[in-house]
Amino acid sequence: MEQLHIDHITKRYGHQVVLDDLSFDLAPGKIYGLLGRNGAGKSTLLNIITSRIFPTAGTIKLGDQDGRDNDAVLGQFYLMSEANLYPKRTTVRRMFDMADESYGGFDYQNADRLLKEFGVPSTAQLSNLSTGLQTAAKLTVALSVNAAFILLDEPVLGLDANHREVFYKELIKTYQNKPRTFVLSTHLIDEIQQVVEHVFIIDDHHLVEEGDVQAMLDKAYAISGPTKDVDEYTNGLRVLAQDELGNVKTAYVYNQLDDQRILPDRVKIGHYDLQHLFIYLTNGGTNNE
Amino acid sequence: MQLQFDESAPLYQQIAAQLEEMIFTGGFTEGSQIPSTTQLSAQLHINPATVLKGMNQLVSKGLVEKRRGRGMFVAPGAQDKIMQARKDSFYNDYIKRLLVEAHKLGITKEHLLELIKRGENDGTITH
């Protein structure tokens, strides 16, 4: 299986820019996170990848094949989205059949097992289910469909804690049984940070950061101590945010720390998590003022 | 198996450290099978690549070994190896820090020895 190249994608509606020149690659057999605040353009991007809408500029390529109007390429992508594209009165069982008709090789056995775990009857009509159970039904299809790139737009929308547990467990299970690429698009970062291997952060219609989660966290340092010492130590480093309480300051640095920098006695170094890194990166970020 | 995580160390190191602790305390005995990468990642909801990295750390330390087609097992002598490594780092991890803190607090060497003796007779410290 080949890499998916998202190449200089721009989307405008009139004068409104929704995505501004985004480029990145998705490798086969990896779990990715696509992170952004509400309205950042995540759903638009997923819709463009799956050709539900067309970009104003840029291309989507699988290997060297253009995705546009190319069924062989599009047949590799499955998008589970919030929008309900199913006809009225579609039953859950019918959703399975539709996925099988479009992609072939639908894993009915896995799907039936998942439905039981989620407690969704296969005879139920999708539109009659609660938001959470609709998500559960759609996830069941997404985790059983035969496609190489599975894009999940807000995969835990409305799911209760128990169902979220089921989802994360089953995602990893199916991924291990049959490695394929998953993209989890969400703003709920806390829960997915240990599930995803690599993340893309979109803010204000731009890709502001991408990388392996561990490599990103390795650069995320919380440096705290007396304000004067912290300022001296962090001088020249990229500081995303800072808290001050009396004379004590914590600076949230996003930078490698070299050994040349001498750590003052009363300054402590710790780490912060992906959720906070995301918040600081998408808040406009403050500088050392 | 329930693992406790914090943010101070990379996740894969935390996984390795906790498995090592369980081997050291006899939760997994020498020669016994430990949970596979597959089981651990599904149970803990952690990306398999992360779990594998942690597991490989234990393999390269010689604490666990892969038996083809059967899974991961605690290597013979693993407990002794952990014991030796911990003794080696005891000086750096505990003694040095103890002396630095004692110096900050103006605690003399004599007082320090007294405190250690007191600790030995302290009924509230459980081993």
- Distance in Å, alpha carbon of A74 to nearest chain B alpha carbon: 27
Q: Which pLDDT score, from 0 to 100, does residue A190 have? A: 86
Q: Based on the fold, state whether residues A21 and A117 are members of the same structural domain.
A: yes
Higher-scoring residue by pLDDT: B80, B9: B80
Q: Based on the fold, state whether residues A36 and A160 are members of the same structural domain.
A: yes
Q: Are A194 and A163 in contact (CB under 8 A)?
A: no
Output the CATH code of domain B11-76: 1.10.10.10
B5 pLDDT more than 70: no
Count of pairs with CB atoms under 8 A, one residue in A, one in B: 43
Per-residue confidence at A286, pLDDT binned at 50, 70, 90?
Answer: very low
Domain boundary among A166, A182, A212: A212
Q: Are A214 and B50 in contact (CB under 8 A)?
A: yes
Q: Based on the fold, state whether residues A138 and A225 are members of the same structural domain.
A: no
Give A114-173 pLDDT, tens digit per residue.
999 999 999 999 999 999 999 999 999 999 999 999 999 999 989 999 999 999 999 999
Q: DSSP letters along B55-109, please? A: HHHHHHTTSEEEETTTEEEEPTTHHHHHHHHHHHHHIIIIIHHHHHHHHHHT--H
Q: Which pLDDT score, from 0 to 100, does residue A72 have? A: 87
Q: Are A91 and A124 in contact (CB under 8 A)?
A: yes
State chain A's mean pLDDT as an integer.
Answer: 92
State chain B's mean pLDDT as an integer.
Answer: 89
Q: Based on the fold, state whether residues A186 and A47 are members of the same structural domain.
A: yes
Q: DSSP letters along A155-186, please? A: TTTT--HHHHHHHHHHHHHHHHHS--EEEEEE
Its domain, for residue A269, covers 219-281
Q: Based on the fold, state whether residues A34 and A98 are members of the same structural domain.
A: yes
Q: Name the residue facing A176 among B10, B38, B44 (closest C-beta).
A: B38
- Distance in Å, alpha carbon of A232 to nearest chain B alpha carbon: 23
Residue A288 belongs to some domain of the structure: no
Give B16-34 pLDDT, tens digit per residue.
999 999 999 999 999 999 9
Per-residue confidence at B70, pLDDT binned at 50, 70, 90?
Answer: confident
Which residue of A214, A265, A271 is the best one to mutate when testing the B interface, meaning the one whose CB has the most B CBs within 10 A?
Answer: A214
Residue A289 belongs to some domain of the structure: no
Give A234-252 pLDDT, tens digit per residue.
999 999 999 999 899 999 9
Q: Which pLDDT score, from 0 to 100, does residue A84 have? A: 79
Test B47 with A271 for CB contact under 8 angstroms.
Answer: no
Distance between CA A41 and CA A47 in Å, rounded? 10
Q: Which pLDDT score, from 0 to 100, does residue A288 have? A: 38
Domain boundary among A153, A182, A212: A212
Residue A287 belongs to some domain of the structure: no
Q: Based on the fold, state whether residues A204 and A233 are members of the same structural domain.
A: no
Domain count for chain A, please give it.
2
Residue A22 belongs to some domain of the structure: yes
Q: Based on the fold, state whether residues A118 and A204 are members of the same structural domain.
A: yes
Give A2-25 pLDDT, tens digit per residue.
899 999 999 999 999 999 999 999
Q: Which pLDDT score, from 0 to 100, does residue B92 have? A: 86
Distance between CA A117 and CA A171 in Å, rounded? 13
Q: Which pLDDT score, from 0 to 100, does residue A163 have? A: 95
Residue A93 belongs to some domain of the structure: yes
Q: Which pLDDT score, from 0 to 100, does residue A285 have? A: 44
Chain A residues inside the 8 Å CB shell of B41: 172, 176
Give A174-214 pLDDT, tens digit per residue.
999 999 999 999 988 988 999 999 999 999 999 999 999 99
Residue A256 belongs to some domain of the structure: yes
Domain boundary among A212, A230, A260: A212
Give A21-48 pLDDT, tens digit per residue.
999 999 999 999 999 998 889 999 999 9
In three-state secondary structure terms, A14 is coil
Q: CA distances (Å), A208 to each of A17, A19, A20, A93, B42, in order?
A: 16, 12, 11, 41, 31
Test B7 with A195 for CB contact under 8 angstroms.
Answer: no
Q: Based on the fold, state whether residues A47 and A176 are members of the same structural domain.
A: yes
- CATH number of the domain where residue A165 is located: 3.40.50.300
Q: Which pLDDT score, from 0 to 100, does residue B123 have? A: 77
